[in-house]
Amino acid sequence: MPGTSSGFAPFEYIEEETNELVGFDVDLAVDAIERAGYEAGDWVDIEFDSLIPSLTEGDIDLIAAAMTITDDRDEQIDFTDPYYEADQAVLVREDDIDPAEFADLEGRPVGAQSGTTGEVTVEEELVSPGLIDGDAARSYGNYVFAVNDLESGNVDAVVVDTPVAETFAGDRPVRVAFVFETGERYGLGLRDGDDRVGDINDALTEIQEDGTYDDLVSEYFE
Ligand code: ARG
């Protein structure tokens, strides 16, 4: 049973008309699981910071959630080969401040999704250097709520992965002020020692080589 955390378009989101979970990760993961000879089963859609505990406890068998491969996470679970690269972007209101670097956000409330590398970036670049107080770093269960709060003025910036920032900027009155290069790479997550990782890596390679990957990119990133 695969798990994800929606509200992260174009990787995983709920399509309004059908109320269905869709996205680049959803299609990619199902294809990889099936090519590897397994059944995908029903998706579980939960908060991002519950994904690793749910995987290790056996409630889900695979994470497909634009999850960055980090040392911390790699100690708890196994990752497939990377399938996508991203950096962090700083989103602001369309007609508001125009920060060029983190120092320009001094004293301002900033949001990110709980448990993400966006949240780590806020911590490392804003809170630790003393640019903002710990309570000005706002955590959200879902980036959609973070961007709602940005629109309504409760926070002045949101730190989120670049492709998702661009999607929000296309749909709402927000824009990318600057990009902070983190060079993150996403992997699918499996339980530590799950021997299906090899088969799923082979499937991912096949998906890339036969053009399916590029088809998914054009379907979800335009
Ligand atoms: N790539 C970032 C991370 O791994 C953010 C992922 C958030 N994913 C999601 N489905 N909400 O921390």
Q: Give the 3-state secondary structure of the chain.
A: CEEECCCECCCEEEECCCCEEECHHHHHHHHHHHHCCCCCCCCEECCHHHHHHHHHHCCCCEECCCCECCHHHHHHEEECCCCEEEEEEEEEECCCCCCCCHHHHCCCCEEEECCCHHHHHHHHHHHCCCCCCHHHEEEECCHHHHHHHHHHCCCCEEEEEHHHHHHHHHHCCEEEEEEEEEEEEECCEEECCCCCHHHHHHHHHHHHHCCHHHHHHHHHCC
Q: Is 67 near ligand 1, meaning CB less than 6 Å away?
A: yes
Shared-domain flag, residues 91 and 168: yes
Tally the domains of the chain: 2
Shared-domain flag, residues 74 and 124: no
pLDDT over 70, % of the chain: 100
Determine the structural domain holding residue 141 and report its residue range. 85-183
Contact 160, 88 (CB under 8 A): yes
CA of 5 to the centre of ligand 1 (A): 8
Q: Is 13 near ligand 1, meaning CB less than 6 Å away?
A: no
Shared-domain flag, residues 110 and 50: no
Shared-domain flag, residues 178 and 166: yes
Shared-domain flag, residues 32 and 89: no
Shared-domain flag, residues 92 and 179: yes
Shared-domain flag, residues 97 and 17: no
Q: Is 48 near ligand 1, meaning CB less than 6 Å away?
A: yes
Q: The CATH number of the domain where 43 resides is what?
A: 3.40.190.10
Shared-domain flag, residues 8 and 95: no
Shared-domain flag, residues 115 and 173: yes
Residue 194's identity, in one-letter code, is: D
Shared-domain flag, residues 106 and 155: yes
Mutate to test the pocket of ligand 1, among 161, 162, 182, 188 (most ligand atoms within 8 A of CB): 161
Shared-domain flag, residues 12 and 93: no
Shared-domain flag, residues 117 and 202: no
Q: What is the pTM of this model?
A: 0.97
- What pLDDT does residue 222 have? 73
**Tens-digit pLDDT profile for residues 102-152:** 999 999 999 999 999 999 999 999 999 999 999 999 999 999 999 999 999
CA of 105 to the centre of ligand 1 (A): 22
User: Which residues of the chain have a pLDDT value below 50?
Assistant: none
